[in-house]
Structure 1
């Protein structure tokens, strides 16, 4: 039986932006007591209230009574876990961990996101590497089942065991990998090939999106790539890969068209400039549609869980 977290020590959530805000909702849905430390408390409150109104419409209401906002790290508190969302900079991640060490009990777990940096690199120079574990989320965290747990030989087994139990209470279909995250590596490999095709005139950005959406977009919520290959015929995929793999991009630099977008300050829907351009009205419409979609796809994923043929669950 999954335990209710209603009387446990609070979780410290440290981070900014929409991902951290959706993690707060995920933890609150699991009856966690959450202390949310963010640099923009007003924005976080506004976003959470908007999300809560959306959830209430779908009879998935969550109370904010168990949520406390912090604008800075306080003195030592009785946290059992710190969930940290930071940018991909190893020195900044290490500094956050050093700061946390001053306000966390000795037995508290530090679970930090890391997409491109090894867990070993983050643990270097940290006093207690055994309590540090990698934890990658996807947005919106409160409607998705994704959770990537990263451990290595320095991570205490008790820490890993506790995170695996918590993942179930958070309704996550978690998996455990060694030292490096795998989600971003797979995505980056696909995007590198897509950018190669665009840069060399084989396809447009719209073509790439249609190919992904209308093919993989249909089967990935049902089965991962490996099971789908089995379903469709593993041998045939092997023959295609044998011919294609030598021709796939091995480019190490970013393509010039993407460099230009970044150099001009493009940040996607955040400022209306990205691989597509957006008006404020279009941005609002896309965000509203994405929220709607996230609730609908959650229902489909739960209807066809990972091992539904065996036991009808994600386990």
Structure 2
């Protein structure tokens, strides 16, 4: 990993934590020079160096990196990415701050899972250059990228981000104003939580059901393709009978609410749906990183759009 102190047109990345650090690695391997603005530069350096050390030497890292804790008024960026908490005011403040450090044709890409892009754009001087970009961790091994645009989004900004997504080795898709990934996941979590709360299944049962069924086919085909493979009509009949019985709860179930109120952060502090010692937490982190490289190779072997010889080639 090369550190670079001066760059005429780097990309700015604001954020902290594993997702932000893995995005940095993704950008470095795509050849971008980046400035990472984060409150804990040492943690960022350590994590990014670890990710880079685990990657194949066959994939050279040509980008250079600078770590910042405050932004300089002497540097203007060709693009900026921000990973923020899921709060509309926080996102709007971040966008307003970033705008002071951008070149005229620069883009601002910000994560937004449950908040409409129009709400994030509301306080921007140039809302047309603000676009939604949702990643998944680890960003440097996964193919996921959700691009969110709307009628306000500049076509030039959208086309540029779409082109960049291919440089980042992403199989990106585009949606209008709202992200869909979290909505799909939330629907599954709501039903799973309902089943646990009402004694139909345990947390372990739910995990086994998801891992050993959907976990097998989702790296090969999405839900709709899988229904085609297994029998579209049959799935339609099942959903017709099952839909009326699915959960429509609008609040967290009791057991989930208790976990949240206790401040359980999962692996980070050893408490979540499962409990973890420090050694167990380290084990799961290491295994997950190892798995992310293995599943990347499997997914690339069976590309989504096989008629075009893959979407990432």
Q: TM-score, normalised by structure 2?
A: 0.95
4+ runs deviating over 6 angstroms: none
- CA distance in 2 between counterparts of 1:132 and 1:268 reads 32
2:63 and 2:224 map into 1 onto residues whose CA distance is 43
Size of the aligned set, in residue pairs, is 306
Contact conserved, 1:52 with 1:62, CA < 8 A, in 2? Answer: no
The aligned residue for residue 157 of structure 2 is 159
Structure 2 counterpart SS, 1:102: helix
Alignment check: 8 A CA contact 1:196 1:249 kept: yes
**Aligned counterpart, 1:263:** 261
1:171 corresponds to: 169
Larger CA deviation: 90-99 vs 45-54: 45-54
Give 5+ residue unaligned stretches, structure 2. 1-6
Are 1:125 and 2:126 an aligned pair? no
Residues 15 and 37 in structure 1, CA contact (< 8 A), matched pair in contact too: yes
Residue by residue over 1:155-178, the C-alpha shift from the partner in whole angstroms, topping out at 9 and shown as x without a partner, is 011110000100000000000000
Map 1:155-304 to 2 at 5 A: 155-304=153-302
Q: CA RMSD for the aligned pairs?
A: 1.4
Where does residue 22 of structure 1 map in the other structure?
22
Match of 1:73 in 2: 71
1:148 aligns to what? 146
CA distance in 1, matches of 2:311, 2:214: 20
Runs of at least 5 residues in structure 1 that lack an aligned partner in the other structure: 1-6
Query: Does the residue aligned with 2:308 lie in a helix, a strand or coil?
Result: coil
Q: What is the CA distance between 1:52 and its match in structure 2?
A: 1.8
Q: Partners in 1 of 2:66 and 2:233 — Cα distance?
A: 54
Cα distance in 2 between the residues matched to 1:110 and 1:155: 11
Equivalent-residue separation in structure 1 for 2:117 and 2:206 (angstroms) = 32
In structure 2, C-alpha distance between the alignment counterparts of 1:237 and 1:124, rounded to whole Å: 42
Residues 85-100 of structure 1 mapped to structure 2, 5 A cutoff: 85-100=83-98
- The structural deviation recorded for 1:65 is 6.3
**Alpha-carbon deviation of 1:78?**
3.1
Q: Aligned partners of 1:224, 1:11: CA distance in 2, in Å?
A: 33
Provide closer, same or farther for how the CA distance between residues 64 and 38 of structure 1 changes in structure 2, counting only shifts above 3 A: farther
TM-superposed CA distance for 1:69, in Å, is 0.6
Query: Does the residue aligned with 2:103 lie in a helix, a strand or coil?
Result: coil
Conserved 8 A contact 2:81-2:110: yes
Q: Is the 8 A contact 1:79 1:104 kept in 2?
A: yes
* 2:310 matched residue in structure 1: 313
Please give the alpha-carbon distance, in whole angstroms, between the structure 2 residues aligned to 1:275 and 1:84: 29
